[in-house]
Amino acid sequence: MLPTTANTGADSAESVALPDPLTPEAIHEMVARMSDDQVRGLLLDRLDAVAAAQAAPTASKGMITVLEENWSAFYSPGLGAIEKLPVLFSKQGEALSNFRSSFGDKGLLKLFAFMAIAIGAGLAAEWIVKQISKRWQGAETAAEDATLWSALAFLARRFGRDILGLVAFYFALRLVGLALLSPAQLSFAGPFVTYLIWFPRLGAAISRFVLAPNRSDLRLVNIDDRWASYLHRNLIGLVLLAGFTLFIIGFDIANGIAIRETRIAFWLNTAVHIYVAWIFWTAREGLTQMMLGTDSDRSRFDVWVASAYPYFAISVAAITWTVVQLLSGHGYFKLLLTTPHYTTMFWLLLAPAIDTAIRGLVRHLLPPMIGKGAVAEAAYKATKRSYIKIGRVIAGLFVVLRVAEAWNLDLRNLAAAGVGERFAANSVEFIMTVATGYVIYELVSLYVNRKLAKEQTASGAVEGDLGGGEGGGAGGSRLTTVLPLALISAQSAIVVIFGLLAVGSLGIDITPLLAGAGILGLAIGFGAQKLVTDVVSGVFFLVDDAFRVGEYVEVGGTMGTVEKISIRSMQLRHHRGLVHTIPYGEIPKLTNFSRDWVIMKLMFTVPFDTDPNKVKKIFKRIGAEMISDPLYKDDFLEPFKSQGVFQFDDVGIVMRGKFMAKPGTQFTIRKEIYNRVRKEFEANGIEFARREVRVALPGLENSETLNQADKTAIAAAAGAAVQQQVEAKQAEAAKKSK
């Protein structure tokens, strides 16, 4: 007997002896004999003891102590299971004996007979429902006509029939079972049917939907018949083994055998994890095929993930088993009975199907490619990869939430617990913040890149188009110039904002970071005034729409095509290949040769005896022909036409023509006009005027009788005259240039 002093007030204290053993019956009997003051005093003493224990400082455990405790918790379940091996089978026999004795031989016979009747009723109900819903299935799609949507529709209808049949099986079995079986019998029949019949059949229906082992033409994942059948069989076996594990644990507890007495849960749980690892190891080739998918547009990262996935899954199975051992060693059996480790491995097994589904949906739901060419194709591939990345992040977050729910982890309130839980909560919040920022980053990039590709293909801009090699090529739209800078700015803002939010979610105070950033910005503003000038000037140039990427401009005597723009400078590519980098702050004046339209004037010199009206008609006919030519009509703004006689020179009559065209097309049109004018002149007997030197010598009317010496002297005199004219013109040109 253990004496306990209870304070009964200010007057007296009485000694109350607690019964030994302290059973519920003894406690009730003791309380019945005690007075109200004695009960009140005993309660106050107990509350004071609890308060004192809570107020006492708890000694913090060192790292070595924590590691030792966890190591002991890890190996103790296995060691205990080995120690219990000699009594494992005898205890199972005891559980069976208790089960038999609780019902008796006739009761067992009646139990199994009623279970057989209930299962038969369930199967009959399932067959009837499947027959009624058979017309929903529709005709099977031929292998050569199968598409994704037809295959998905057929498999979804078949899966719906399977699930509907299983639901009918469950309700009919439950209805008949409730009518025939007693509550004690239901405590055995319910888990038996659920874990050993219903769960494996549900797993088979899901596996049949995803893998379609007998219909390769309807299979949703990229895997051959051999591995599809192999995975289908073993997944059903895995669900059956896991169900048997849960059933036998509950069976032992219900029949008076505690988990600690046999440690059978250790052996069965280990068998499940080994089975998972063995499936992934033996089927690694098929699982790699499944992860790769059928899309030929794979990145190097996709190939690496597909090859590493089976080994990652084996590692997760091993880590999950280790976590189960630690929790079991620490006594968290109630948590483990909810099978969070099996839920984790279920989503792990479903990962290839989820990834394949994401890529399949993206491939079939992705908007068509905008335009043609390398720019459009690159934008299309980038869009597809962005959709896949976003889908993977969302699917990953969903899996994390499902796994956290299985382990009873409230990710929102996890930080309210201890230091370890607070660290875990901060880590989860960090991951969620980074994932959210990444999704927004990809969405912004996706929108801007798709808009940019649309603008580039609509404008017909071709990278490296320098206007026929002479400059003056057409530029892109205004959005084509502004969007790359907007994308860089938006991406930088998203990275900075969500980076700070992620750092703050770890419990780090970001106020000093913001203050430091402000001071750094102020220092940059004072120390890099030229940089600020360049940036501000660039902003106003872009606002004024002074130039666009692809346009041919002149800046202070430097000419070239705008090849690239940044926040502080622009790059001009000369048509001979030179690249000039010009800061915006150093641009006093900018001349744009590629905006809206361009007029080109062409000169043709014909002999003095040529009829100008005849030349005008030829020019007009060429202009009419080219404006109706499909190759050139869209490039003209005004057709080629004659401007009449421009001037007379010392060679002949200078005739001029002109046309108006879109920037960048004028050089191609000019070449074609030159070719056509040459052919028309030749067809009409018109020659181009050539520079000639005529020497008139008095008294040489009979030039045919000149000998070779006379001809040589005349040629020398003519050469001297030509040289004098050339020198005179050069001197005149030099004087004008001054």
Q: Which helix (H) or strand (E) holds 116?
A: helix 85-132
Second CATH level (architecture) for the domain 598-683: 2-Layer Sandwich (3.30)
Q: How many CB atoms lie within 10 A of CB 677?
A: 21
AA identity, residue 56: A
Pick the CATH number of 509-593 from 2.60.40.10, 3.30.565.10, 3.20.20.140, 2.30.30.60: 2.30.30.60
Q: What does the alpha-carbon distance between residue 72 and residue 69 come to, in Å, rounded to a whole number?
A: 5
- Please, what is the Cα angle at 590 between 584 and 593, to 5 degrees? 130
3-class DSSP assignment, residue 326: helix
| pLDDT value, residue 192 | 92
Residue 704's pLDDT is what?
61
Helix (H, G, I), strand (E, B) or coil at 598: strand
Successive 10-residue mean pLDDT values, the chain, 738 residues: 41 54 66 72 71 59 77 86 88 89 88 91 90 69 58 82 90 89 88 91 89 80 87 92 90 85 88 92 89 76 85 89 86 79 80 77 72 65 79 82 76 46 60 80 78 63 46 57 73 82 72 63 60 71 75 82 79 81 83 78 85 87 86 82 83 85 80 88 82 60 63 70 70 60
Would you state the pLDDT for residue 622? 87
Q: What's the pLDDT at 387? A: 81
Quote the distance between the C-alpha of residue 133 and its chain's center.
39
Domain ranges of the chain: 2-54, 90-365, 367-459+476-501, 509-593, 598-683, 695-726
Digit-coded pLDDT (tens) for 535-563: 777 777 777 777 777 778 888 878 888 88
Contact 209, 161 (CB under 8 A): no
CA distance 687 to 607: 7
Coil/strand/helix, residue 724? helix
Residues, the chain, total? 738
Q: How far apart are the C-alpha atoms of 78 and 89, rounded to whole Å?
A: 17
Give the pLDDT of residue 5: 42
Residue 15 is predicted with a pLDDT of 55
pTM: 0.60
CA 701 – CA 562 distance, rounded (Å): 65
- pLDDT number for residue 60: 59
> Which are the contacts of 429, defined by CB distance < 8 A and separation ≥ 6?
411, 415, 505
The Cα–Cα gap between 653 and 606 comes to 5
**pLDDT at residue number 117:** 93
Provide the pLDDT for residue 9. 42
Tell me if residue 506 falls in helix, strand or coil: coil
What sign has the CA pseudo-torsion 338, 340, 345, 347?
positive
Give the residue among 403, 402, 391, 404 at the shortest CA–CA distance from 357.
Answer: 391
The two structure tokens encoding residue 735: 């004087």
pLDDT for position 485: 73
Task: Locate 17 and state its tokens.
Answer: 């002896």
- Closest to 172 (Cα-Cα) out of 161, 183, 180: 180
C-alpha 658/C-alpha 174 separation (Å) is 93
